[in-house]
């Protein structure tokens, strides 16, 4: 595991095949096999306590700040990015400029397998993102979202909110 510019809380578990750099990680967070989690020297990626990244997940904070809350669950193959576009082709950028933007994911959010979170997205606390969703817009607390592009499916009921907040 790469260890450049990192600050780790207590009991952080990172698989030896993962790559983590320029990241501040809260206590009791786990990062599984073959993950690539990185920020930038000027704005380190931040992950709260008790979070989890499943196998083969990517969290790219090179272009703008990424903040992941506490107790966030990312299933396998999740991709969270602060920049997206045809960075190898200046000609293609004329039509499709590179988009960059900060990403913020609230506490207790669950991101399903193979979901993609695009630059500029803010997700509130207690959100659930269905597997294979492409999230290109922001959603408030207690949102259940999914699809390509992701849309609000429903908001948690009052009873569900009560159960979560006890």
CATH classification (class only), 3-165: mainly beta
For the chain, domain boundaries: 3-165
In contact, 79 and 58? CB cutoff 8 Å: yes
Phi-psi region of 26 (alpha: psi -120 to 50; beta: other; left: phi over 0): beta
User: What secondary structure does DSSP assign to 13-41, as a single string?
Assistant: EE-TT-EEESEEE-TT-EE-TT-EEE-BT
* pLDDT 10s digits, 52-98: 999 999 999 999 999 999 999 999 999 999 999 998 999 999 999 99
In contact, 24 and 45? CB cutoff 8 Å: yes
Give the residue-averaged pLDDT of 135-142.
98
């Amino acid at each position: 595991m790469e260890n450049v510019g990192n600050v780790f809380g207590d009991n952080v578990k990172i698989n030896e095949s993962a790559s983590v750099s320029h990241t501040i990680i809260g206590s009791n967070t786990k990062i599984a096999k073959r993950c690539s989690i990185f920020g930038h020297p000027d704005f380190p990626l931040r992950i709260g306590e008790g979070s989890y990244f499943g196998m083969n997940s990517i969290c790219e904070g090179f272009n703008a700040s990424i903040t992941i809350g506490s107790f966030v669950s990312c299933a396998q193959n999740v991709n969270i990015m602060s920049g997206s576009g045809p960075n190898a082709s200046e000609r293609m950028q004329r039509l499709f400029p590179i988009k960059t933007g900060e990403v913020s994911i609230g506490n207790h959010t669950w991101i399903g397998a193979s979901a993609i979170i695009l630059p500029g997205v803010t997700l509130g606390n207690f959100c659930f993102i269905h597997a294979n969703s492409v999230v290109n817009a922001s959603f408030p607390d207690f949102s259940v979202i999914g699809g390509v592009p992701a849309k609000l499916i429903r908001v948690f009921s009052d009873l569900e909110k009560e159960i979560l907040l006890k």
